[in-house]
Chains A and B, each alone.
Chain A
Amino acid sequence: MKVSVQAEPFDLGAELADFGTGRADVGAVVSFTGIVRDDTGAMEALELEHYPGMTERAIAGIVDQAVERWNLSDVTVIHRHGRLGVGEQIMMVATAARHRVAAFEAAEFLMDYLKSRAPFWKKEHGPEGTSWVAAKDEDEDALKRW
């Protein structure tokens, strides 16, 4: 298991190269990468604030739940903070399981929970100034399916 909360970019290829390989109990690896998107055409940067200490603890708790529920063989979660440019990677999750349904579901579960239960806050920087990104009701609703 690997959880990293970091300002630096990560190397997706390097993270996935050996993930889940070289063992007999893994038949499926799923990965998701979040990228900074610009919906308005005017965003200059996305700033991510977080709660050092609680962030790592919250993510570890979410990972533990996923491992237990889907019997995962391995998990990687990397989440960046600080100022990120449009098109940059924000975060990634990878799951390794015996079968693909478990790997896909666990990755979705991790994403849903990271979105509304890991203490990060996004702020958009644009020519008009800055604004905090509001949490969406549908993100909270997404937790109910689990």
Chain B
Amino acid sequence: MIDVLYFAWVRERIGLPREKMETQAKTVADLVEELKAREPRYEAAFADISALRVALDQDLAEFDAPLEGVREVAFFPPMTGG
């Protein structure tokens, strides 16, 4: 089981802040494909992954990163702090 978290407009588009899921996905990109296949709202949120960032266990990562051993995956738009 992994926790999948969504922030900002990704959270709004999908309609929930986090969910637990069982997945066989090997990489972040595989997980994205799995989510997109679920429902149109996921497809809309992940339509352009170049507009998204991903963090694995709270560290920024790439979409081709492996998911093995990861407990928390978060998807969000580029950050606007400061």
Residues of A within 8 A of B (CB): 34, 49-51, 53-54, 57-58, 79, 90-91, 111, 114-123, 132-135, 139-140
Contacts and interface: CB of A to CB of B under 8 A. Distances in A.
Contacts of A79: 81
Interface string B8-35: 1100000000000000000000000000
Contacts of A57: 58-59
Interface in B30-69: 55, 58-60
Contacts of B77: 121, 132, 134-135
Contact of A49 (B7, B55, B58, B82): B7
Given A54-B74, A119-B55, A49 B8 contact: yes
Contacts, number: 70
Interface of B: 5, 7-9, 55, 58-60, 74, 76-82
Contacts of A34: 82
- Interface of A, helix, strand, loop or mixed by DSSP: mixed
Contacts of A135: 77-80
Contacts of B79: 115-121, 135
Contact of A51 (B7, B78, B80): B7
A114 B82 contact: yes
Nearest to B57: A54
23 contacts: A79-B81, A90-B82, A91-B82, A115-B79, A115-B81, A116-B79, A117-B79, A117-B81, A118-B79, A119-B55, A119-B76, A119-B79, A120-B79, A121-B7, A121-B8, A121-B76, A121-B79, A121-B80, A123-B8, A134-B78, A135-B79, A135-B80, A139-B80
